[in-house]
Structure 1
Amino acid sequence: MKKYQGYFIDLDGTVYKGKDRIPAAARFIRRLQAAHKTILFVTNNSTRQPSFVADNLAHNHDIHVSADNVYTSALATADYLDGIAGDRRKVYIVGESGLAAALQAKHFELTNDDEEVQPDYVVVGLDTNTNYHKLEQAVLDIRAGARFIGTNGDSNLPNERGMTPGAGSLVKLVEYATQKKPLMVGKPQTTIMKMALQKCHLSVDDVLMVGDNYHTDIEAGINVGMDTLLVYTGLSKPADVKREKVQPTYTVESLDEWSVQ
Protein backbone atom coordinates (compact mmCIF):
# COMPACT_ATOMS: atom_id res chain seq x y z
CA MET A 1 0.00 0.00 0.00
CA LYS A 2 1.32 3.42 -0.98
CA LYS A 3 2.16 6.05 1.62
CA TYR A 4 0.23 9.32 1.28
CA GLN A 5 1.06 12.66 2.88
CA GLY A 6 -2.33 14.22 2.23
CA TYR A 7 -5.92 13.04 2.39
CA PHE A 8 -8.78 14.82 0.62
CA ILE A 9 -11.95 13.62 2.32
CA ASP A 10 -15.61 14.00 1.40
CA LEU A 11 -18.14 14.80 4.13
CA ASP A 12 -21.74 13.80 3.34
CA GLY A 13 -21.96 10.01 3.25
CA THR A 14 -18.30 9.58 4.15
CA VAL A 15 -17.86 11.31 7.52
CA TYR A 16 -21.54 11.58 8.46
CA LYS A 17 -25.06 11.15 7.13
CA GLY A 18 -26.81 14.40 7.93
CA LYS A 19 -27.07 14.44 11.73
CA ASP A 20 -26.10 10.79 12.08
CA ARG A 21 -22.53 9.88 12.97
CA ILE A 22 -20.34 7.42 11.13
CA PRO A 23 -18.17 6.44 14.13
CA ALA A 24 -15.42 4.89 11.99
CA ALA A 25 -14.84 8.30 10.39
CA ALA A 26 -13.79 9.93 13.67
CA ARG A 27 -11.41 7.06 14.38
CA PHE A 28 -10.00 7.40 10.85
CA ILE A 29 -9.36 11.14 11.28
CA ARG A 30 -7.65 10.58 14.64
CA ARG A 31 -5.31 8.04 13.00
CA LEU A 32 -4.46 10.57 10.29
CA GLN A 33 -3.82 13.29 12.86
CA ALA A 34 -1.60 10.99 14.91
CA ALA A 35 0.43 10.28 11.77
CA HIS A 36 0.70 14.03 11.02
CA LYS A 37 -1.06 13.76 7.67
CA THR A 38 -2.44 16.77 5.81
CA ILE A 39 -6.24 16.64 6.02
CA LEU A 40 -8.58 18.62 3.78
CA PHE A 41 -12.30 18.02 3.70
CA VAL A 42 -13.19 18.66 0.06
CA THR A 43 -16.95 18.88 -0.08
CA ASN A 44 -19.47 19.71 -2.78
CA ASN A 45 -21.88 21.04 -0.15
CA SER A 46 -21.89 24.82 -0.66
CA THR A 47 -24.44 25.73 2.00
CA ARG A 48 -22.20 26.38 5.02
CA GLN A 49 -19.06 28.35 5.79
CA PRO A 50 -15.92 26.37 6.77
CA SER A 51 -16.13 27.60 10.37
CA PHE A 52 -19.64 26.15 10.67
CA VAL A 53 -18.49 22.86 9.14
CA ALA A 54 -15.57 22.59 11.58
CA ASP A 55 -17.83 23.42 14.53
CA ASN A 56 -20.36 20.81 13.40
CA LEU A 57 -17.64 18.18 13.08
CA ALA A 58 -16.40 18.91 16.60
CA HIS A 59 -19.71 19.14 18.44
CA ASN A 60 -21.73 16.50 16.60
CA HIS A 61 -19.20 14.04 15.22
CA ASP A 62 -16.19 14.12 17.58
CA ILE A 63 -13.85 15.27 14.80
CA HIS A 64 -11.64 18.18 15.81
CA VAL A 65 -10.18 20.24 12.96
CA SER A 66 -10.02 23.92 12.04
CA ALA A 67 -11.91 25.86 9.37
CA ASP A 68 -8.71 25.80 7.32
CA ASN A 69 -9.16 22.03 6.96
CA VAL A 70 -12.39 22.59 4.99
CA TYR A 71 -12.63 23.43 1.28
CA THR A 72 -16.15 23.70 -0.09
CA SER A 73 -17.53 24.01 -3.61
CA ALA A 74 -18.59 27.53 -2.58
CA LEU A 75 -14.96 28.49 -1.88
CA ALA A 76 -13.83 26.82 -5.10
CA THR A 77 -16.51 28.67 -7.08
CA ALA A 78 -15.52 32.02 -5.56
CA ASP A 79 -11.83 31.32 -6.20
CA TYR A 80 -12.54 30.30 -9.79
CA LEU A 81 -14.69 33.35 -10.55
CA ASP A 82 -12.17 35.66 -8.89
CA GLY A 83 -9.59 34.40 -11.34
CA ILE A 84 -11.66 35.13 -14.45
CA ALA A 85 -14.08 37.93 -13.54
CA GLY A 86 -11.95 41.06 -13.77
CA ASP A 87 -14.34 43.95 -13.12
CA ARG A 88 -17.43 41.87 -13.98
CA ARG A 89 -18.40 41.10 -10.40
CA LYS A 90 -22.21 41.08 -10.19
CA VAL A 91 -23.59 37.66 -9.23
CA TYR A 92 -27.08 36.25 -8.68
CA ILE A 93 -27.12 33.10 -6.56
CA VAL A 94 -29.41 30.20 -5.90
CA GLY A 95 -27.68 29.11 -2.72
CA GLU A 96 -27.31 29.54 1.01
CA SER A 97 -25.05 31.45 3.41
CA GLY A 98 -21.88 29.52 2.59
CA LEU A 99 -22.05 30.47 -1.08
CA ALA A 100 -22.98 34.08 -0.37
CA ALA A 101 -20.16 34.53 2.13
CA ALA A 102 -17.55 32.94 -0.15
CA LEU A 103 -18.44 35.25 -3.04
CA GLN A 104 -18.65 38.37 -0.89
CA ALA A 105 -15.24 37.59 0.62
CA LYS A 106 -13.87 37.83 -2.94
CA HIS A 107 -15.62 41.20 -3.40
CA PHE A 108 -18.46 40.06 -5.61
CA GLU A 109 -21.74 42.01 -5.48
CA LEU A 110 -24.85 39.87 -5.01
CA THR A 111 -27.82 41.09 -7.05
CA ASN A 112 -30.50 38.99 -5.34
CA ASP A 113 -32.11 42.00 -3.67
CA ASP A 114 -32.36 44.06 -6.86
CA GLU A 115 -34.06 42.37 -9.79
CA GLU A 116 -33.42 45.40 -11.99
CA VAL A 117 -29.67 44.76 -11.97
CA GLN A 118 -28.46 42.32 -14.62
CA PRO A 119 -25.75 40.08 -13.12
CA ASP A 120 -22.63 38.94 -14.92
CA TYR A 121 -22.98 35.44 -13.47
CA VAL A 122 -25.70 33.22 -12.09
CA VAL A 123 -24.38 30.63 -9.64
CA VAL A 124 -26.63 27.71 -8.72
CA GLY A 125 -25.81 25.58 -5.69
CA LEU A 126 -27.72 23.68 -3.05
CA ASP A 127 -30.52 25.81 -1.62
CA THR A 128 -32.92 24.07 0.76
CA ASN A 129 -35.03 27.22 1.02
CA THR A 130 -35.39 27.95 -2.68
CA ASN A 131 -38.73 28.68 -4.34
CA TYR A 132 -40.15 29.13 -7.81
CA HIS A 133 -39.48 32.88 -7.91
CA LYS A 134 -35.79 32.45 -7.08
CA LEU A 135 -35.32 29.86 -9.81
CA GLU A 136 -37.38 31.95 -12.21
CA GLN A 137 -35.04 34.92 -11.70
CA ALA A 138 -32.00 32.72 -12.30
CA VAL A 139 -33.49 31.52 -15.58
CA LEU A 140 -34.38 35.04 -16.72
CA ASP A 141 -30.90 36.37 -15.87
CA ILE A 142 -29.17 33.57 -17.78
CA ARG A 143 -31.46 34.09 -20.77
CA ALA A 144 -30.54 37.79 -20.62
CA GLY A 145 -26.85 36.98 -20.92
CA ALA A 146 -25.47 36.04 -17.50
CA ARG A 147 -22.93 33.23 -17.51
CA PHE A 148 -24.31 30.06 -15.87
CA ILE A 149 -22.15 28.47 -13.14
CA GLY A 150 -23.01 25.36 -11.12
CA THR A 151 -21.26 24.71 -7.83
CA ASN A 152 -21.58 20.95 -8.33
CA GLY A 153 -23.68 18.30 -10.00
CA ASP A 154 -24.58 16.02 -7.08
CA SER A 155 -27.93 14.40 -7.82
CA ASN A 156 -28.46 13.46 -4.18
CA LEU A 157 -27.33 14.50 -0.71
CA PRO A 158 -27.13 11.66 1.86
CA ASN A 159 -28.57 12.56 5.25
CA GLU A 160 -30.38 10.91 8.13
CA ARG A 161 -33.63 10.79 6.09
CA GLY A 162 -32.07 9.14 3.05
CA MET A 163 -30.91 10.35 -0.37
CA THR A 164 -32.38 13.84 -0.67
CA PRO A 165 -32.11 16.09 -3.77
CA GLY A 166 -28.67 17.61 -4.24
CA ALA A 167 -27.44 20.78 -5.91
CA GLY A 168 -27.32 19.04 -9.29
CA SER A 169 -31.09 18.66 -9.20
CA LEU A 170 -31.48 22.44 -9.09
CA VAL A 171 -28.75 22.97 -11.68
CA LYS A 172 -30.55 20.58 -14.04
CA LEU A 173 -33.85 22.43 -13.58
CA VAL A 174 -32.24 25.74 -14.56
CA GLU A 175 -30.35 24.07 -17.41
CA TYR A 176 -33.59 22.63 -18.78
CA ALA A 177 -35.39 25.97 -18.57
CA THR A 178 -32.58 27.94 -20.20
CA GLN A 179 -31.26 25.30 -22.62
CA LYS A 180 -27.80 26.47 -21.47
CA LYS A 181 -25.04 24.21 -20.21
CA PRO A 182 -23.46 25.41 -16.95
CA LEU A 183 -19.78 25.55 -16.18
CA MET A 184 -19.39 23.15 -13.24
CA VAL A 185 -16.80 23.70 -10.50
CA GLY A 186 -17.17 20.97 -7.88
CA LYS A 187 -16.39 17.27 -7.96
CA PRO A 188 -15.98 15.41 -10.30
CA GLN A 189 -14.54 18.40 -12.14
CA THR A 190 -10.80 18.98 -11.82
CA THR A 191 -11.16 22.67 -10.91
CA ILE A 192 -11.88 22.10 -7.23
CA MET A 193 -9.21 19.40 -7.00
CA LYS A 194 -6.45 21.50 -8.55
CA MET A 195 -7.21 24.44 -6.28
CA ALA A 196 -7.31 22.15 -3.25
CA LEU A 197 -3.85 20.85 -4.18
CA GLN A 198 -2.58 24.43 -4.45
CA LYS A 199 -4.06 25.24 -1.05
CA CYS A 200 -2.19 22.30 0.54
CA HIS A 201 1.03 22.76 -1.47
CA LEU A 202 0.98 19.09 -2.41
CA SER A 203 1.33 17.23 -5.71
CA VAL A 204 -1.31 14.85 -7.03
CA ASP A 205 0.92 11.85 -6.25
CA ASP A 206 1.04 12.79 -2.56
CA VAL A 207 -2.72 12.71 -1.96
CA LEU A 208 -5.49 10.11 -1.62
CA MET A 209 -9.09 11.11 -2.38
CA VAL A 210 -11.56 9.49 0.04
CA GLY A 211 -15.31 9.41 -0.59
CA ASP A 212 -18.55 7.47 -0.81
CA ASN A 213 -19.77 8.54 -4.25
CA TYR A 214 -18.08 7.06 -7.32
CA HIS A 215 -19.52 9.67 -9.68
CA THR A 216 -18.30 12.68 -7.66
CA ASP A 217 -15.49 11.84 -5.23
CA ILE A 218 -13.85 8.96 -7.05
CA GLU A 219 -14.23 10.38 -10.55
CA ALA A 220 -12.77 13.67 -9.27
CA GLY A 221 -9.66 11.81 -8.17
CA ILE A 222 -9.51 9.80 -11.39
CA ASN A 223 -9.95 12.92 -13.52
CA VAL A 224 -7.04 14.70 -11.85
CA GLY A 225 -4.81 11.60 -11.74
CA MET A 226 -5.11 10.99 -7.98
CA ASP A 227 -5.40 7.65 -6.16
CA THR A 228 -8.82 7.03 -4.64
CA LEU A 229 -10.42 5.23 -1.71
CA LEU A 230 -14.15 4.46 -1.97
CA VAL A 231 -15.96 3.69 1.28
CA TYR A 232 -19.37 2.01 1.08
CA THR A 233 -21.15 4.11 3.71
CA GLY A 234 -23.08 6.44 1.41
CA LEU A 235 -24.36 6.61 -2.16
CA SER A 236 -22.37 4.11 -4.22
CA LYS A 237 -22.95 0.37 -3.94
CA PRO A 238 -20.45 -2.43 -4.75
CA ALA A 239 -22.51 -3.95 -7.56
CA ASP A 240 -22.76 -0.59 -9.33
CA VAL A 241 -19.08 0.25 -8.91
CA LYS A 242 -18.00 -3.11 -10.34
CA ARG A 243 -19.58 -2.10 -13.66
CA GLU A 244 -17.44 1.03 -13.96
CA LYS A 245 -14.63 0.93 -16.52
CA VAL A 246 -12.12 2.63 -14.20
CA GLN A 247 -12.09 1.19 -10.69
CA PRO A 248 -11.19 3.01 -7.47
CA THR A 249 -7.63 2.39 -6.33
CA TYR A 250 -9.00 0.96 -3.07
CA THR A 251 -12.42 0.10 -1.64
CA VAL A 252 -13.50 -0.55 1.96
CA GLU A 253 -16.77 -1.24 3.72
CA SER A 254 -15.68 0.92 6.65
CA LEU A 255 -12.88 3.43 7.23
CA ASP A 256 -11.85 1.23 10.16
CA GLU A 257 -10.34 -1.06 7.53
CA TRP A 258 -7.88 1.57 6.31
CA SER A 259 -4.36 1.37 7.74
CA VAL A 260 -2.58 4.72 7.73
CA GLN A 261 0.99 4.36 6.46
Structure 2
Amino acid sequence: MDQRTRERLPALPTLVKTAHRLLKEATARLDALNAAPLGSDFRVLGETFRVPRFSKCADGRPIHAWDAKGTRRSFGGEERSAFWGWAAIEILRHTGIRIEELLELGHHSIVSYKLPTTGQTVPLLQIAPSKTDQERLVLVAPELADVLSAVVSRVRGSDGRVPVLRSYDHYERVWNPPMPLLFQDRSGGYLRPLSRATIRRGLDVTLLASGLTDSAGDPLIFQPHDFRRIFITDSILNGLPPHIAQVIAGHDHIGTTMGYAAIYPTDAIEAHRAFIARRPGSAACR
Protein backbone atom coordinates (compact mmCIF):
# COMPACT_ATOMS: atom_id res chain seq x y z
CA MET A 1 0.00 0.00 0.00
CA ASP A 2 2.93 2.35 0.69
CA GLN A 3 4.22 1.75 -2.82
CA ARG A 4 0.78 2.59 -4.21
CA THR A 5 0.83 5.94 -2.40
CA ARG A 6 4.42 6.70 -3.44
CA GLU A 7 3.48 6.06 -7.05
CA ARG A 8 0.43 8.32 -6.97
CA LEU A 9 1.73 11.25 -4.93
CA PRO A 10 3.99 12.59 -7.75
CA ALA A 11 1.15 12.09 -10.24
CA LEU A 12 -1.28 14.27 -8.31
CA PRO A 13 -0.26 17.64 -9.87
CA THR A 14 -0.84 16.25 -13.37
CA LEU A 15 -4.23 14.87 -12.34
CA VAL A 16 -5.23 18.24 -10.84
CA LYS A 17 -4.16 20.14 -13.97
CA THR A 18 -6.05 17.70 -16.18
CA ALA A 19 -9.24 18.07 -14.15
CA HIS A 20 -9.00 21.86 -14.43
CA ARG A 21 -8.37 21.66 -18.18
CA LEU A 22 -11.29 19.30 -18.80
CA LEU A 23 -13.64 21.59 -16.89
CA LYS A 24 -12.41 24.66 -18.75
CA GLU A 25 -12.85 22.95 -22.13
CA ALA A 26 -16.26 21.48 -21.28
CA THR A 27 -17.48 24.89 -20.10
CA ALA A 28 -16.22 26.53 -23.30
CA ARG A 29 -18.07 23.99 -25.47
CA LEU A 30 -21.31 24.37 -23.53
CA ASP A 31 -21.09 28.18 -23.63
CA ALA A 32 -20.47 28.08 -27.38
CA LEU A 33 -23.46 25.77 -27.86
CA ASN A 34 -25.71 28.06 -25.83
CA ALA A 35 -24.62 31.07 -27.89
CA ALA A 36 -25.17 29.41 -31.29
CA PRO A 37 -28.57 29.70 -33.07
CA LEU A 38 -30.62 26.53 -33.55
CA GLY A 39 -29.66 24.66 -36.71
CA SER A 40 -26.37 26.53 -37.14
CA ASP A 41 -22.74 25.45 -37.14
CA PHE A 42 -20.27 26.74 -34.58
CA ARG A 43 -16.58 26.26 -33.94
CA VAL A 44 -14.92 25.92 -30.55
CA LEU A 45 -11.49 24.64 -29.46
CA GLY A 46 -10.59 23.81 -33.05
CA GLU A 47 -13.67 21.65 -33.70
CA THR A 48 -16.85 22.32 -35.67
CA PHE A 49 -20.28 21.28 -34.42
CA ARG A 50 -23.86 21.53 -35.63
CA VAL A 51 -26.68 22.63 -33.34
CA PRO A 52 -30.01 20.73 -33.51
CA ARG A 53 -32.87 22.54 -35.23
CA PHE A 54 -35.09 22.28 -32.18
CA SER A 55 -34.91 21.32 -28.51
CA LYS A 56 -37.33 19.70 -26.09
CA CYS A 57 -35.67 21.35 -23.10
CA ALA A 58 -37.80 23.75 -21.07
CA ASP A 59 -35.56 26.71 -21.89
CA GLY A 60 -35.55 25.88 -25.59
CA ARG A 61 -31.81 25.34 -25.66
CA PRO A 62 -30.26 21.99 -26.65
CA ILE A 63 -27.63 20.32 -24.51
CA HIS A 64 -26.06 18.29 -27.30
CA ALA A 65 -24.60 18.83 -30.79
CA TRP A 66 -23.10 16.79 -33.62
CA ASP A 67 -19.44 16.90 -34.52
CA ALA A 68 -17.94 16.72 -38.03
CA LYS A 69 -18.13 12.90 -37.99
CA GLY A 70 -21.82 12.92 -37.12
CA THR A 71 -21.24 11.81 -33.53
CA ARG A 72 -23.73 13.16 -31.02
CA ARG A 73 -22.00 14.96 -28.13
CA SER A 74 -23.81 15.79 -24.92
CA PHE A 75 -22.10 19.01 -23.91
CA GLY A 76 -24.38 19.37 -20.91
CA GLY A 77 -23.42 15.92 -19.64
CA GLU A 78 -19.73 16.49 -20.36
CA GLU A 79 -19.75 19.74 -18.42
CA ARG A 80 -21.52 18.15 -15.44
CA SER A 81 -19.09 15.24 -15.39
CA ALA A 82 -16.08 17.56 -15.67
CA PHE A 83 -17.34 19.86 -12.92
CA TRP A 84 -18.08 17.17 -10.36
CA GLY A 85 -14.88 15.31 -11.21
CA TRP A 86 -12.90 18.50 -10.64
CA ALA A 87 -14.78 19.36 -7.44
CA ALA A 88 -14.34 15.87 -5.98
CA ILE A 89 -10.62 15.75 -6.74
CA GLU A 90 -10.03 19.19 -5.23
CA ILE A 91 -12.01 18.56 -2.03
CA LEU A 92 -10.59 15.08 -1.50
CA ARG A 93 -7.00 16.20 -1.97
CA HIS A 94 -7.36 19.26 0.29
CA THR A 95 -9.14 17.48 3.15
CA GLY A 96 -8.31 13.78 3.08
CA ILE A 97 -11.92 12.91 3.85
CA ARG A 98 -13.57 9.63 2.88
CA ILE A 99 -15.88 9.42 -0.13
CA GLU A 100 -18.93 8.82 2.06
CA GLU A 101 -18.04 11.95 4.03
CA LEU A 102 -17.64 13.87 0.78
CA LEU A 103 -21.12 12.93 -0.41
CA GLU A 104 -22.65 13.92 2.94
CA LEU A 105 -21.18 17.42 2.95
CA GLY A 106 -23.90 20.02 3.28
CA HIS A 107 -24.12 23.78 3.09
CA HIS A 108 -24.26 23.73 6.88
CA SER A 109 -20.87 21.95 6.90
CA ILE A 110 -19.16 25.24 6.06
CA VAL A 111 -18.70 27.06 9.36
CA SER A 112 -16.49 29.80 10.75
CA TYR A 113 -14.36 29.95 13.87
CA LYS A 114 -12.92 32.96 15.66
CA LEU A 115 -9.39 32.38 16.88
CA PRO A 116 -9.20 33.34 20.56
CA THR A 117 -5.56 34.43 20.22
CA THR A 118 -5.87 36.89 17.33
CA GLY A 119 -9.61 37.36 16.90
CA GLN A 120 -9.28 36.35 13.25
CA THR A 121 -12.19 34.41 11.76
CA VAL A 122 -11.23 31.34 9.73
CA PRO A 123 -13.47 29.05 7.64
CA LEU A 124 -13.79 25.41 8.65
CA LEU A 125 -15.36 22.35 7.10
CA GLN A 126 -17.36 20.27 9.55
CA ILE A 127 -17.09 16.57 8.75
CA ALA A 128 -19.93 14.34 9.92
CA PRO A 129 -18.79 11.10 11.59
CA SER A 130 -18.58 8.03 9.40
CA LYS A 131 -16.37 5.30 10.85
CA THR A 132 -16.09 7.04 14.22
CA ASP A 133 -18.71 8.68 16.42
CA GLN A 134 -16.98 12.05 16.53
CA GLU A 135 -17.35 15.00 14.24
CA ARG A 136 -14.20 16.84 13.25
CA LEU A 137 -13.23 20.16 11.72
CA VAL A 138 -10.88 20.75 8.80
CA LEU A 139 -9.35 24.14 8.09
CA VAL A 140 -10.45 25.52 4.72
CA ALA A 141 -7.45 26.73 2.72
CA PRO A 142 -8.00 29.52 0.13
CA GLU A 143 -7.88 27.02 -2.76
CA LEU A 144 -10.50 24.84 -1.08
CA ALA A 145 -12.65 27.90 -0.33
CA ASP A 146 -12.77 28.69 -4.06
CA VAL A 147 -13.93 25.16 -4.86
CA LEU A 148 -16.61 25.16 -2.16
CA SER A 149 -17.82 28.54 -3.38
CA ALA A 150 -18.13 27.20 -6.93
CA VAL A 151 -20.09 24.17 -5.70
CA VAL A 152 -22.47 26.25 -3.58
CA SER A 153 -23.06 28.68 -6.46
CA ARG A 154 -23.86 25.78 -8.75
CA VAL A 155 -26.38 24.00 -6.53
CA ARG A 156 -28.18 27.06 -5.16
CA GLY A 157 -31.79 27.38 -6.23
CA SER A 158 -33.48 30.46 -7.62
CA ASP A 159 -34.32 31.48 -4.04
CA GLY A 160 -30.63 31.53 -3.13
CA ARG A 161 -30.86 28.43 -0.95
CA VAL A 162 -29.28 25.02 -1.42
CA PRO A 163 -32.12 22.52 -1.98
CA VAL A 164 -32.72 20.00 0.78
CA LEU A 165 -32.52 16.32 -0.21
CA ARG A 166 -32.52 12.94 1.47
CA SER A 167 -29.64 10.57 0.81
CA TYR A 168 -29.15 6.89 1.51
CA ASP A 169 -26.42 5.71 3.88
CA HIS A 170 -25.10 2.50 2.33
CA TYR A 171 -23.10 1.59 5.45
CA GLU A 172 -25.91 2.02 7.96
CA ARG A 173 -28.57 1.07 5.37
CA VAL A 174 -30.83 3.91 6.42
CA TRP A 175 -32.09 7.11 4.84
CA ASN A 176 -30.45 10.24 6.17
CA PRO A 177 -32.63 13.18 7.20
CA PRO A 178 -33.11 15.91 4.58
CA MET A 179 -29.96 18.03 4.21
CA PRO A 180 -28.74 20.81 1.89
CA LEU A 181 -26.24 18.50 0.21
CA LEU A 182 -23.42 20.06 -1.77
CA PHE A 183 -23.02 17.08 -4.10
CA GLN A 184 -26.37 17.09 -5.85
CA ASP A 185 -27.41 17.58 -9.44
CA ARG A 186 -30.44 17.43 -11.68
CA SER A 187 -31.08 14.11 -13.41
CA GLY A 188 -34.19 13.24 -15.38
CA GLY A 189 -35.76 16.52 -14.31
CA TYR A 190 -35.26 15.82 -10.60
CA LEU A 191 -32.61 16.86 -8.12
CA ARG A 192 -30.75 13.83 -6.83
CA PRO A 193 -27.75 13.25 -4.54
CA LEU A 194 -24.65 12.28 -6.47
CA SER A 195 -23.56 8.67 -6.10
CA ARG A 196 -20.16 7.12 -5.56
CA ALA A 197 -20.33 5.72 -9.07
CA THR A 198 -20.70 9.25 -10.47
CA ILE A 199 -17.61 10.42 -8.58
CA ARG A 200 -15.61 7.41 -9.72
CA ARG A 201 -16.66 7.90 -13.35
CA GLY A 202 -15.54 11.51 -13.24
CA LEU A 203 -12.23 10.43 -11.73
CA ASP A 204 -11.76 7.73 -14.38
CA VAL A 205 -12.43 10.18 -17.22
CA THR A 206 -9.86 12.57 -15.78
CA LEU A 207 -7.28 9.82 -15.37
CA LEU A 208 -7.76 8.66 -18.95
CA ALA A 209 -7.34 12.21 -20.27
CA SER A 210 -4.21 12.73 -18.15
CA GLY A 211 -2.30 9.90 -19.83
CA LEU A 212 -0.79 8.89 -16.48
CA THR A 213 0.65 5.39 -16.27
CA ASP A 214 1.96 3.17 -13.49
CA SER A 215 5.40 1.56 -13.23
CA ALA A 216 4.29 -1.22 -15.60
CA GLY A 217 3.19 1.27 -18.25
CA ASP A 218 -0.51 0.57 -17.70
CA PRO A 219 -3.05 3.38 -17.18
CA LEU A 220 -2.81 4.62 -13.60
CA ILE A 221 -5.75 3.69 -11.40
CA PHE A 222 -6.86 6.13 -8.71
CA GLN A 223 -9.46 5.33 -6.07
CA PRO A 224 -11.10 8.06 -3.96
CA HIS A 225 -9.40 6.63 -0.86
CA ASP A 226 -5.98 7.18 -2.47
CA PHE A 227 -6.44 10.91 -1.91
CA ARG A 228 -6.77 10.25 1.82
CA ARG A 229 -3.48 8.36 1.95
CA ILE A 230 -1.77 11.02 -0.17
CA PHE A 231 -3.13 13.81 2.04
CA ILE A 232 -1.80 12.20 5.22
CA THR A 233 1.56 11.30 3.66
CA ASP A 234 2.07 14.76 2.17
CA SER A 235 1.04 16.48 5.41
CA ILE A 236 3.46 14.52 7.58
CA LEU A 237 6.30 14.81 5.06
CA ASN A 238 5.82 18.59 5.08
CA GLY A 239 6.08 18.88 8.83
CA LEU A 240 2.57 18.37 10.21
CA PRO A 241 2.90 16.51 13.53
CA PRO A 242 1.47 12.99 13.27
CA HIS A 243 -0.89 13.52 16.22
CA ILE A 244 -2.39 16.56 14.46
CA ALA A 245 -2.74 14.54 11.25
CA GLN A 246 -4.54 11.93 13.34
CA VAL A 247 -7.09 14.49 14.54
CA ILE A 248 -7.66 15.88 11.03
CA ALA A 249 -8.07 12.40 9.57
CA GLY A 250 -10.44 11.33 12.33
CA HIS A 251 -8.46 8.26 13.37
CA ASP A 252 -8.94 6.78 16.84
CA HIS A 253 -5.33 5.63 17.05
CA ILE A 254 -2.17 7.29 15.80
CA GLY A 255 -0.96 3.90 14.57
CA THR A 256 -3.70 4.02 11.95
CA THR A 257 -2.52 7.43 10.81
CA MET A 258 1.10 6.32 10.55
CA GLY A 259 -0.05 3.26 8.63
CA TYR A 260 -1.51 5.62 6.03
CA ALA A 261 1.69 7.65 5.76
CA ALA A 262 4.00 6.29 3.09
CA ILE A 263 7.35 7.48 4.42
CA TYR A 264 10.02 7.36 1.74
CA PRO A 265 13.29 5.56 2.61
CA THR A 266 15.24 8.72 1.78
CA ASP A 267 13.17 10.74 4.24
CA ALA A 268 13.72 8.17 6.98
CA ILE A 269 17.47 8.14 6.37
CA GLU A 270 17.77 11.94 6.30
CA ALA A 271 15.65 12.31 9.44
CA HIS A 272 17.76 9.72 11.23
CA ARG A 273 20.98 11.46 10.17
CA ALA A 274 19.62 14.79 11.45
CA PHE A 275 18.69 13.15 14.75
CA ILE A 276 22.16 11.66 15.15
CA ALA A 277 23.72 15.05 14.39
CA ARG A 278 21.58 16.73 17.06
CA ARG A 279 22.13 14.02 19.67
CA PRO A 280 24.36 15.07 22.59
CA GLY A 281 27.83 13.60 22.28
CA SER A 282 27.71 13.22 18.52
CA ALA A 283 30.65 14.40 16.44
CA ALA A 284 28.53 17.15 14.90
CA CYS A 285 27.82 18.62 18.35
CA ARG A 286 31.46 18.83 19.43
Higher share of residues assigned helix? 2
Structure whose CA Rg is larger: 2
Higher share of residues assigned strand? 1
> TM over 0.5: same fold?
no
The higher relative CO (CA closer than 8 Å, separation ≥ 6) is in 1
Which band: TM-score by shorter chain? 0.3 to 0.5
